[in-house]
Copies of this chain bind each other. A is one copy, B any other.
């Protein structure tokens, strides 16, 4: 499995993906699931969860379109909406091509998050389904998750909204990953991270390894605080 989060907030975008893949418990590998594309007027991140074969094929086709500078070159297309349409079509066609009597559609399925900005336009974030259609993040729904999304959802639901600043949203993202990794073996470090600070027009890419001192500090502090807090919560008496 996989865990990916992307947020579109007032000050910019945050993308975080783990790197563990597994085909059964005895076949665990590390693969990048966050892909970063850039030219002079834009930055785009695509994150994937689902069939690794489908993902790799989709990303290969996107890269080939860039290399050949086809009509589907995502570094040339004028809007993120059209880019999402093209990526959605590539995804759908990849699944249709791979479908056969040996494998069904659900095994081939894959979800994508696609976000970024073009020139001075407002940043956008899309959640693209296996079927090729998609939804867009807005102020009421400022974040998407794909893959093993449930363990790490409560903390984001409690903390993040559209106006949360990037530093707090990033800290919350790390706690969300920590909770997921603690409860699910199929999600693992390192975490690939891209933060597009649109207020300062500055993008940072980091691979957060298991010995990352800040992650370790957050993990330790959060674990302790949860236990301390727990003692402060009133009991549930039975009579």
Measured CB to CB, the residues of A under 8 A from B are 148, 150-155, 157-159, 167-168, 170-172, 174-175, 179-180, 182-184, 195, 204, 206, 214-215, 217-218, 221-223, 225-227, 229-230, 232-239
Could you say which residues of chain B place their CB within 8 Å of the CB of A218? 233-234, 236
Could you say which residues of chain B place their CB within 8 Å of the CB of A170? 235-236, 238
Does the CB pair A232–B225 fall under 8 Å?
yes
A89, B76: Cα distance in complex, Å: 61
A152, B154: Cα distance in complex, Å: 8
In-complex Cβ contact of A154 among B171, B179, B206 (8 A): B179
A217 to chain B, nearest CB (A): 5
Could you say which residues of chain B place their CB within 8 Å of the CB of A182? 154, 157-158
A222, B226: Cα distance in complex, Å: 10
In-complex Cβ contact of A151 among B150, B221, B232, B239 (8 A): B150
A189 to chain B, nearest CB (A): 14
In-complex Cβ contact of A150 among B148, B158, B168 (8 A): B148
A-B contact pairs, 28 of them (CB 8 A): A148-B150, A150-B184, A153-B183, A154-B154, A154-B179, A155-B226, A158-B182, A158-B223, A158-B227, A159-B226, A159-B230, A170-B236, A171-B236, A172-B230, A174-B236, A175-B230, A175-B233, A204-B238, A204-B239, A214-B235, A214-B236, A217-B234, A218-B233, A218-B234, A218-B236, A221-B233, A225-B229, A229-B229
A187 to chain B, nearest CB (A): 11
Does the CB pair A226–B223 fall under 8 Å?
no
A175, B179: Cα distance in complex, Å: 15
Q: Take A225-B232, A233-B218 as given contacts and tell me if A206 and B157 are in contact as well, using a CB distance cutoff of 8 Å.
A: no
A228 to chain B, nearest CB (A): 8
Does the CB pair B230–A167 fall under 8 Å?
no
A152, B183: Cα distance in complex, Å: 10
Does the CB pair A183–B204 fall under 8 Å?
no
Could you say which residues of chain B place their CB within 8 Å of the CB of A155? 226
Could you say which residues of chain B place their CB within 8 Å of the CB of A171? 230, 233, 235-236
Does the CB pair A150–B183 fall under 8 Å?
yes
Could you say which residues of chain B place their CB within 8 Å of the CB of A184? 150
